[in-house]
Structure 1
Amino acid sequence: MKRIILTLMMAATSACATPSAEPTREDGMARLGDTIFVDGPNVMPIQVIEDSRCPRGTACVWEGRVVLRVEVTGGAWAQTMDLVSGEPQQVADGALTLVSVLPEAGSGEPLPESYRFAFEFDGGL
């Protein structure tokens, strides 16, 4: 009888356990609020601070940029920072770069839920 109760308790406890899945996306892109593993740290885009990219098909003096607020985590640490597209930012033992922002700049303001971001991490062992 004790074995049955013990077995049932173990089964119930394991059913309540949360999976320790590492955040990943198959397309390598993250939306606002998604967490993605980037060759070392995990990165979660929080908010687009600036999107001043030059719309396609127009002549601009400056190509513009995207500034994205992200939360970066790794092991026991977490850090919030603003990434500027194409500019590496020091994180832990390497550099994190916002390398791609979709949709491309167009004539209108993209909706927050339509944004997708790709990152690169250069560093680590």
Structure 2
Amino acid sequence: MIRTLAPLALLTPLIASGCAIVPDTPMVGGEAQAQGTAVALGESVWQGDTILTPLSVVEDSRCPQNARCVHAGRLIVSTRITATHWKQTVPMTLGEPYTVMNRTYVLGEAMPAQVAGQTIPPGAYRFTYAAR
């Protein structure tokens, strides 16, 4: 009986390690995009050995292109950060670094820009992340 259970005991950590990264929302196409690729909400992108996934736009108060503003506004995107043994969902602000586990990430670009009088539909957003 011990001989039969020994191989199973050896396989259990291997099976479990394959499940270390379990996304809490599905990735589009089941794969993360190449580093530097602009991604839509729900799509994932590699950033070094980490996967970043924009989940939702929390705030988009950026100054529209065709307006004059006293305040530049900001864009905040709820982003899931997934690595081998951990994952975390955080609000990332456009242009501001976010550091976790000795790694720093930046929501570097967001498209399209705001236009006065128009609402950006969630499916139209594209985001680019960078590592510092």
TM-score bracket for the superposition, by shorter chain length: 0.7 to 0.9
TM-score with structure 1 setting the length: 0.76
Counterpart of 2:127 (choices 77, 94, 117) is 117
Match for 1:58: what amino acid? A
Match for 2:38: what amino acid? M
- Assess if the C-alpha contact under 8 Å between 1:24 and 1:37 holds in 2: yes
Structure with greater Cα Rg: 1
Match for 2:79: what amino acid? V
Match for 1:50: what amino acid? E
- After the TM superposition, which residues 26-105 of structure 1 pair with which residues of structure 2 at under 5 Å, given as runs? 28-105=37-114
Please state whether the residue corresponding to 1:59 is helix, strand or coil: coil
- Assess if the C-alpha contact under 8 Å between 1:40 and 1:121 holds in 2: no
**Unpaired segments of 5 or more residues in structure 2?**
1-29
- The CA RMSD over aligned residues, in Å, is 1.7
TM-score with structure 2 setting the length: 0.72
Q: Which runs of 4+ in 1 moved over 2 A?
A: none
For 1:22 and 1:58, the matched residues in 2 are separated by: 39
Match for 2:66: what amino acid? G
**Unpaired segments of 5 or more residues in structure 1?**
1-20
**What per-residue deviation string (whole Å, max 9, x for no partner) do you get for residues 9-53 of structure 1?**
xxxxxxxxxxxx861148711100001001231001101000000
Which residue of the partner structure matches residue 10 of structure 1?
Answer: none
**What per-residue deviation string (whole Å, max 9, x for no partner) do you get for residues 92-122 of structure 1?**
2221111100011112110000000001111
The percent of aligned pairs where both chains have the same amino acid is 28
- After the TM superposition, which residues 4-19 of structure 1 pair with which residues of structure 2 at under 5 Å, given as runs? none
